[in-house]
Amino acid sequence: KYKVILDLDTGIDDAMALAYSLTLPNCDLIGVLSSYGNVVSDLSANNSLKLLDLLHHPEVPVYKGAEHALNQPNFTVLPVSAHIHGTNGVGEVTLPETDRTVAATSAVDFIIAAAHQYQDRLIVIPTGPLTNLAQAFQKDPQISHLIGKVVFMGGALTVPGNVSPAAEANIAQDPEAANIVLRGGFNITMVGLDVTLRTVLTKKETAHWRSLGTTAGQLYADIVDYYIDVYGETSPHLHGCALHDPLAVGIAADPSLAQTIALDMKVDLTDAFRGRTIGNEERLKEPTTTAVCVNVDVDRFTTTFMAHMNELLQESG
Ligand code: BDR
Ligand code: CA
Encode pLDDT of 80-139 as tens digits: 999 999 999 999 999 999 999 999 999 999 999 999 999 999 999 999 999 999 999 999
* Mean pLDDT, all residues of the chain: 97
Query: Which ligand 1 atom is at minimum distance from the Cα of 11?
Result: 6
Report the pLDDT value the prediction gives residue 51, as an integer from 0 to 100. Answer: 98
Q: Which residue in 69, 93, 102, 73 sits closest to 11, CA to CA?
A: 93
Q: If you take atom 10 of ligand 1, which residue's CA is the nearest one?
A: 169
Which of 8, 38, 163, 199 to mutate for ligand 1's pocket (most ligand atoms within 8 Å of CB)?
Answer: 38
218: CA distance to ligand 1 center in Å?
23
The per-residue pLDDT for range 165-209, each reduced to its tens digit, is 999 999 999 999 999 999 999 999 999 999 999 999 999 999 999
Cβ-proximal residues to 293 (8 Å cutoff; 6+ apart), any chain: 189, 190, 191, 192, 194, 195, 251, 258, 259, 260
What sections of the chain are H helices per DSSP? 12-21, 41-54, 79-85, 107-118, 131-139, 143-146, 169-173, 175-182, 193-196, 203-211, 215-234, 244-253, 298-315
Ligand 1, atom nearest to 242 Cα:
9
Residue 264 pLDDT greater than 80, yes or no: yes
User: How far is the C-alpha of 35 from the C-alpha of 48, rounded, in Å?
Assistant: 11
Q: What is the pTM of this model?
A: 0.98
Whether residue 265 is predicted with pLDDT greater than 80 in this model: the reply is yes
Give the whole-angstrom CA distance, residue 140 versus residue 110: 12
Identity of the residue numbered 178: A
Residue nearest to atom 4 of ligand 1 (CA): 38
Question: What's the chain's length in residues?
Answer: 317
ipTM over 0.85? The verdict is yes
Can you tell me whether residue 104 is helix, strand or coil?
coil
Sign of CA dihedral 297, 193, 200, 304: positive
**Beta-strand pair 276-279/265-268:** antiparallel
pLDDT band at 284, cuts 50/70/90?
A: confident
Q: Which of 44-48, 237-241, 266-270 has the lowest mean pLDDT?
A: 237-241
Distance 128 CA to ligand 2 centre (A): 4
Tell me, using a 6 A CB cutoff, whether residue 245 lines ligand 1. Answer: yes
Position 257 pLDDT exceeds 80? yes
Catalytic residue set: 9, 244
213: left (phi over 0), alpha (psi -120 to 50) or beta: left
Ligand nearest to the CA of 171: 1
C-beta 194 within 6 A of ligand 1: no
Per-residue model confidence as pLDDT tens digits over 208-246: 999 999 999 999 999 999 999 999 999 999 999 999 999
Report the C-alpha gap between 55 and 275 in whole angstroms.
Answer: 35
Where residue 248 falls among pLDDT bands split at 50, 70, 90?
Answer: very high
